[in-house]
Amino acid sequence: MMNSKTDRMCAKSFVALLFFSCLADVAVANGETGISPPLALEPGKAPPLPGQGPLAAPRSAGQTGFPTALTAAVTPPAAPRSPAAVALGQKLFFDGRLSGDGTVACATCHDAARAFTDGRSVSIGIHGRVGQRNSPTVLNALYNKTQFWDGRAATLEQQAAMPITNPFEMGSTSLANAVSGIAGDRDYQVQFMMAFGRGVNEQDLLRAIAAYERTLASFDSPFDHFIAGDGDAISGAAKRGWELFNTKARCNLCHARSADKRDVTTFTDNDFHNIGIGILRHRVGPLAEQAEHELAQGHPPALDTAAITSEMSVLGRFLVTKRPADTAAFKTPDLRNVLVTGPYFHDGSMQTLWDVMDHYNKGDGLTDPWLDDGIQPLAMTEPEIDDLVAFLASLTSAPYKKVGDEEFARQFAVSRTDRPQRDNARAFGPKPKRLPF
């Protein structure tokens, strides 16, 4: 006989686990294992160019949860908004001719079918060159105050330029060379004239890509419907997860615009934090000295190359600011569609959302002298971790519902047998002392 609230909660958690376990078994039996893994590549070969498909289309401002005022505030007054400019940007986004050998496009790392990510731990570009960082989603990038994991670009226009010439990404020798690859195309000549009233040129190429990216606002999730008043839009587990997110789990310290007010829109503070990911695998001190010497002038191409192609990538925001406090700090990502944008963190080192929760639960990285003050053991129980993941899954936008359901089933099944980040002794133990700078 159940004689306590804890007993009842455990029974409910068991029923939920049993349901999702059965769902996972059905998905596996039917060959539905979430987002299909990226194809293995031949050495020296770039990933195949993704097609556009219906998920590449600009998003509607009529989505439930769409922040009209915020969108207007973050859109530069001079940014092109015409359908002609957006259509041009969409075509450019998927065009491999902007790369050095015609094999890589923006969409190579930002596939619309994968919620504008590539499903890989780290990006792979021209000639199969492997980068140092995970490809973040372009969905809702218009709300970022800075772009890239280290914030080295201030605008979407600046961000669009850098991968085109990065030797590990699209590999063009210059932006002018990329433009020359399409300048003779009659369709592009017409589209540039319609969008900007002049011929093919570098500035308008970047403005068009940014114009398209600003249409990729992604809301209309079950959580948005819940906030709009539909109490049945998310599960009880997701509701409990939402409470934990803002209290015991401390997620709101970084994933909210203000730690003292619940954020239902962007789920990021647009700041940079060292959360203890991967730092102990690198010689951070010597790397910082090397970066200060080699990147002293702050030239964007040199910074971009270091961030993607070298071990200095681990320094994160420090590459941009040279401030010791920014050592190995990376930008807080928006959590919308997080279920379908794994692997997770700047280095793609976590494979499931349960791994992510385990990392935070044990307060990983406490021997890292630059660790963010907010990182500490959380003592989250297994049912609470399940609830948190259920909440995160409720942030999946409507166009990705099917793939999100499949991915949840896949990750859930993995989490029942494989939890490499779990350490309950640390999660429930006292907070260790931090090392000084």
pTM of the full structure: 0.89
Which tokens sit at 389? Answer: 């993941």
Same domain? 291 vs 364: no
- Indicate whether 6 belongs to any domain: no
Same domain? 156 vs 207: yes
- Indicate whether 148 belongs to any domain: yes
Task: Please state the domain count of the chain.
Answer: 3
- Indicate whether 233 belongs to any domain: yes
Q: What is the pLDDT of residues 233-256, one digit of tens each?
A: 999 999 999 999 999 999 999 999
Report the b/e string of 162-193 with b at 16+ CB within 10 A: bbbbbbbbbbbeebeebbebbeeeeebeebbe
Does the structure show a pLDDT above 60 at 6? no
Does the structure show a pLDDT above 90 at 9? no
State how far the Cα of 392 lies from the Cα of 402, in Å rounded to an integer.
Answer: 15
Contacts of residue 72, Cβ cutoff 8 Å, sequence gap at least 6: none
Predicted local confidence at residue 282, as pLDDT: 66
- Indicate whether 181 belongs to any domain: yes
Cβ proximity of 245 and 252 under 8 Å: yes
Same domain? 246 vs 367: yes
User: How many Cβ atoms are within 10 Å of 71's Cβ, its own excluded?
Assistant: 14
Kindly report the CATH number assigned to the domain that includes residue 240. 1.10.760.10
Phi, psi of 417 (to 5 degrees): -125, -20
272 sits in which H/E element:
strand 272-273
Q: What is the pLDDT of residues 267-305, one digit of tens each?
A: 999 999 999 987 656 677 788 888 888 887 777 778 888
Residue at which a domain ends, from 292, 310, 327: 327
Predicted local confidence at residue 37, as pLDDT: 77
Angular region, 118: left φ>0, alpha ψ -120 to 50, beta rest: alpha
Contacts of residue 187, Cβ cutoff 8 Å, sequence gap at least 6: none
State how far the Cα of 39 lies from the Cα of 118, in Å rounded to an integer.
Answer: 10
Predicted local confidence at residue 435, as pLDDT: 59
Predicted local confidence at residue 233, as pLDDT: 98
232-239 contacts at long range (C-beta below 8 A, 24 or more positions apart): 233/394, 234/390, 234/391, 234/394, 235/390, 235/394, 236/12, 237/16, 237/386, 237/387, 237/390, 237/391, 238/387, 238/390, 238/391, 238/393, 238/394, 239/391
- For residues 20 and 278, the model is more confident at 278
Predicted local confidence at residue 129, as pLDDT: 96
Q: What share of the chain is helix, strand, coil (3-state, %, to 5)?
A: 45, 5, 50
Of 275-289, 346-360, 372-386, 421-435, the least confident: 275-289
Same domain? 145 vs 188: yes
Q: What is the pLDDT of residues 130-177, one digit of tens each?
A: 999 999 999 999 999 999 999 999 999 999 999 999 999 999 999 999
User: Which pLDDT band, with edges at 50, 70 and 90, does 3 fall under?
Assistant: very low
Half-sphere exposure of 116 (CA within 13 A, CB side): 25
Predicted local confidence at residue 288, as pLDDT: 83
Same domain? 271 vs 289: no
- For residues 14 and 248, the model is more confident at 248
Closest to 165 (Cα-Cα) out of 155, 174, 153, 154: 174
- Which structural domain, as residue segments, surrounds residue 106? 54-213
Predicted local confidence at residue 331, as pLDDT: 98
331 sits in which H/E element:
strand 330-331
- For residues 303 and 67, the model is more confident at 67
Same domain? 131 vs 107: yes
Of 26-40, 114-128, 297-311, the least confident: 26-40
Q: What DSSP state is assigned to residue 350?
A: B
Report the b/e string of 265-294 with b at 16+ CB within 10 A: bbbbbeebbbbbbbbeeeebeebbebbeee
**3-state class of 364 per DSSP?**
coil
**3-state class of 261 per DSSP?**
strand
Q: What is the pLDDT of residues 384-393, one digit of tens each?
A: 999 999 999 9
Does the structure show a pLDDT above 80 at 7? no
Does the structure show a pLDDT above 90 at 383? yes
Closest to 366 (Cα-Cα) out of 274, 247, 285: 274
Q: What is the pLDDT of residues 198-222, one digit of tens each?
A: 999 999 999 999 999 999 999 999 9
